[in-house]
Amino acid sequence: MKKILAKEQLSEEVFRMKFEAPHIARERKAGQFIIIQLDSEFGERIPLTIADADPDEGSVTIIFQTVGRTTHLLADLEVGDHIANVLGPLGHPTHIDNFGTVVCVGGGIGVAPMHPIAQALKAAGNRVIIIMGARNRDLIIMEDEMKKIADELIICTDDGSYGRKDLVTVPLKEICERDPKPDMAVAIGPPIMMKFCAETTRPYEVHTVVSLNTIMVDGTGMCGGCRVTVGGETKFVCVDGPEFDGHKVDFDNMMLRLGSYKEQETLDHEQCHLEMEIKERGLDKE
């Protein structure tokens, strides 16, 4: 049982939550994730990136978006409540080195997992350019945190309500065209965004690291539910990743696989919203 220490709503659907997890706080490195489960008997196990950790306090911070039943239930928890099961840190840590200039592209909630990586890259002496993208102004998160790290910060919204009215690939292309071109790119966000970031950098031969977010069950390498094709080979995201060379990932297969349970997830989500509505309107007490 892990006690929730802090909770904050960053935007309509995005929450930041801090809970106690001393073992994880002690060992975790940038790029790693955890698996959480809200109920030991019937809860599902979901992967979430570690956004931050404080080894002295023994706490770990996650940032998550409410996209289905489990994330809704998580968002319903308050400070002082407990999360039944938290496993981690999982996955390979990001390879951090002084590469030179690195472009970090974060899409939507992907800005959260990008943050510790950008932070570590900066600390290692890199010049860090950050591109943040979201559908609209309300969905832009962690702008202040990113400002502290970035040597250059570019914000894009799809509807132009804030920053540039562009997809993140537009400034990414501009940066690739600079002389000298960047030494590396890191892209984290929805699969379609990572795919197009990789396509953008490919002609410029800028090495592009992506952090994949496949379906997972155990997160320890024992089921292969998270497998992806990378350079023609099958890899397990939970143990071989989550980071891979974006130019080698078969994104089309990965996106199809992400939809494996779509029908059931949609039903479950609708059911969850109904239950929430009943609770909000006090209908359950009638």
Partner 1 sequence: MSYIPADKLHEEAIKTVKELEGKELKPKDRLSLPRQEMPSQDPEVRKKNMNEVALGYFEEQVKIEAERCLQCKTAPCISGCPVQIDIPGFIKTAAEGDYEKSLSIIKRTSLLPAICGRVCPQEVQCQLPCTVGKSLKDVDLAVSIGRIERFVADWADAKGKKTVPQVKPETGKKVAIIGSGPASITVAADVRREGHEVHMFEAFHKPGGVMVYGIPEFRLPKRIVADEIEALKEMGVKLETNFLVGRTRKIQDLIDKDGFEAVFIGTGAGLPKFMNIEGENLIGVFSANEYLTRVNLMRAYDKERSATPIYQAKKVAVLGGGNVAMDAARSALRMGAAEVHVLYRRTEKEMPARVEEVAHAKEEGITFHFLRSPKRILEGEKGRVRGLEVLKYELGEPDDSGRRRPVEVKNSNYEMEFDTVIVAIGNNSNPLIEKTTPGLDTNKWGNIVADENGKTSMERVFAGGDIVLGAATVILAMGEGRKAAQSINELLSK
Q: Can you give the binding site for partner 1, defined by CB under 8 A? A: 23-24, 27, 37, 39-45, 69-70, 84-90, 217-218, 220-225, 227-229, 234, 239, 250, 252-253, 256-257, 259-261, 263-265, 268
Say whether 238 counts as a known binding-site residue: yes
Cβ atoms of residues 24 and 53 within 8 Å: yes
Is 176 annotated in some ligand binding site?
A: no
Residue pair 189/106 in contact by the 8 Å Cβ criterion: yes
Least distance to partner 1 from the beta carbon of 73, Å?
9
Nearer to partner 1 by Cβ, of 96 and 272: the residue is 272
Which is closer to partner 1, CB of 9 or CB of 220? 220
CA 71, distance to chain mean position in Å, is 13
Q: How far is the CB of 263 from partner 1 (least distance, A)?
A: 8
Which tokens hold the place of 61? 């911070």
Tokens of 260: 């494996």
- CB of 84: closest distance to partner 1 in angstroms? 7
The least distance separating partner 1 from the CB of residue 29, rounded to whole angstroms, comes to 10
Under 8 Å CB-to-CB from 159, ≥6 apart: which residues?
A: 135, 136, 165
Q: What is the DSSP letter of 126?
A: -
ω into residue 242 within 30 of 0, thus cis? yes
Strand 208-211 relative to strand 243-245, pairing: antiparallel
Report whether 63 belongs to an annotated binding site.
yes
Question: Smallest distance from the beta carbon of 161 to partner 1, in angstroms?
Answer: 34
Residue with Cβ nearer partner 1 (96 or 258): 258
Q: Which is nearer to partner 1, 124 or 222 (CB)?
A: 222
Query: Amino acid identity, residue 38?
Result: L
Question: If you compute the radius of gyration of the chain from its CA atoms, what whole number of angstroms results?
Answer: 19
Task: Decide whether 90 or 212 has the Cβ nearer to partner 1.
Answer: 90
Q: Is 119 annotated as a binding residue?
A: no
Q: Residue 22 or residue 190: which is nearer to partner 1 going by CB?
A: 22
Backbone angles phi, psi at 161, to 5 degrees: -70, -10
The least CB distance from residue 123 to partner 1, in Å, is: 22
The least distance separating partner 1 from the CB of residue 141, rounded to whole angstroms, comes to 26
Under 8 Å between Cβ of 165 and 156: yes
Closer by beta carbon to partner 1, 136 or else 234: 234
Asked if residue 104 belongs to a known ligand binding site, the reply is no
Q: Is 197 annotated as a binding residue?
A: no
DSSP labels, 5-40: EEEEE-SSSEEEEEEE-HHHHHH--TT-EEEEES-T
Residue with tokens 């990008």: 114
Cα separation, 161 vs 246, in Å, equals 29
Binding positions for [2Fe-2S] cluster: 223, 226, 238
Binding positions for FAD: 63-65
Binding positions: 63-65, 223, 226, 238
